[in-house]
Amino acid sequence: MQVIVVAPVAPAAGGASEPVLRAFLLCREQWGDMVPSSQLRVYEPLESFPEEERARWTAYIESDVALPTAWPYRQTSFQTPGSENGAVGLMYPVAGEHAYVRRVNGSWFVCPWSIQVSVLTGILAFRMAVPGMTDVIVPDDEAERASSELERLRRQNPDLRDNVATAAWHVPFRWLAAFDDAERILTAERGLPRIGPAGRAGQRGAVRVRYETELALAVTRLQRAGDILEQGGMDESIVAPVTELATWMNGFDVDSTLELDYWGLTGLLPTEELEADRSAGEIWACLEAMELGDVDESRRRYSELAAWWEQIRSVERAN
């Protein structure tokens, strides 16, 4: 769950379409420093956890403790030599052990929030994603400290993993390849969401877009997608992330459930566009056209889908 984010500011004029800009300003008013993001979550059977951890999550479920309703964060500052103000927009999750949980056919499934791992991996991922800003946002000594601490944690617990992946401003196309169009779930949210751990995760706004599938099916689809891309002559930089995602999923219990939630992104798009969105289906239409050798059709499908998501990414660049 890479949750390091930068506090949002209003996008520059002309950087995004008016509907998306208005939605962004409304989101900022409602969520404060939250950056609109999507999430990919792995829910593992409660019975699959080691005994001590299983007992801890059982007690957590029974306590019905409230989840943070807006993913609260606290501001962190770095004192950079020679700077007038060392404060930057890095936000860290508040302390505490939480999880998304759900009950399916009488059995509990748990998706823990790995807060410490999330912060550390987020710092390192941010440096890779925005190389031109690393010295300003994440100083070298802070990145080195994060890397050392993450290595220490993994030495202590080789099974340490993160059940939640977070992507700011978009849904990675490789995530969509894990799902079938028929697994898309569109719901209208009314009233205040239940905030205990048995409530549904990520409820924001009037419309919610999710996909759910069995983890084993998701891995099979990603392996197929990787094969298609490789046989289609795609660069390793495109194939590798798909393969890595399947490898990450293989680290969880085989009976787990995978959920993709548009989460905070739903507030950036009009309801009618969300209702018409079939991104997972479009990704597979693109891949299957490539598999059949229809390069023009594959390129057309991809271009149209990329253009649709561009309206959100334009807000990120202007931010």
| Per-residue pLDDT tens digits for 235-261 | 999 999 999 999 999 999 999 999 999
CB atoms within 10 A of CB 77: 10
- Chain-centroid distance of CA 68 in Å reads 17
Structure tokens at 193: 């969401």
pLDDT at 136: 61
pLDDT at res. 101: 93
Confidence (pLDDT) at 192: 40
pTM of the model: 0.75
The answer to whether residue 211 scores a pLDDT higher than 50 is yes
| 12 against 45, higher pLDDT | 45
Question: In the chain, pLDDT over 70 holds for what percent of residues?
Answer: 64
pLDDT higher than 90, residue 292 = yes
* Average confidence (pLDDT) over 75-99: 51
Burial class (CB in 10 A: 0-12, 13-18, 19+), 84: exposed
- Say what the pLDDT of residue 135 is: 62
**Mean predicted confidence (pLDDT) in 263-290:** 90
Q: How many CB atoms lie within 10 A of CB 295?
A: 12
**What's the pLDDT score for residue 269?**
78
pLDDT the model gives residue 207 = 80
Which residue is listed with tokens 């009009």? 270
Alpha helix stretches (DSSP H) within 70-158: 115-129, 134-137, 140-156
Judge whether residue 5 has pLDDT over 50. no
Ranges of beta strands (E only) in the chain are 5-6, 37-45, 73-77, 87-93, 99-104, 107-112, 164-168, 184-188, 207-214, 257-261
Report the candidate in 196, 224, 176 with the shortest Cα–Cα distance to residue 63: 196
SS3 77: strand
CA–CA distance, 278 with 211 (Å, rounded to integer):
11
In the beta sheet, which residues pair with residue 309? none
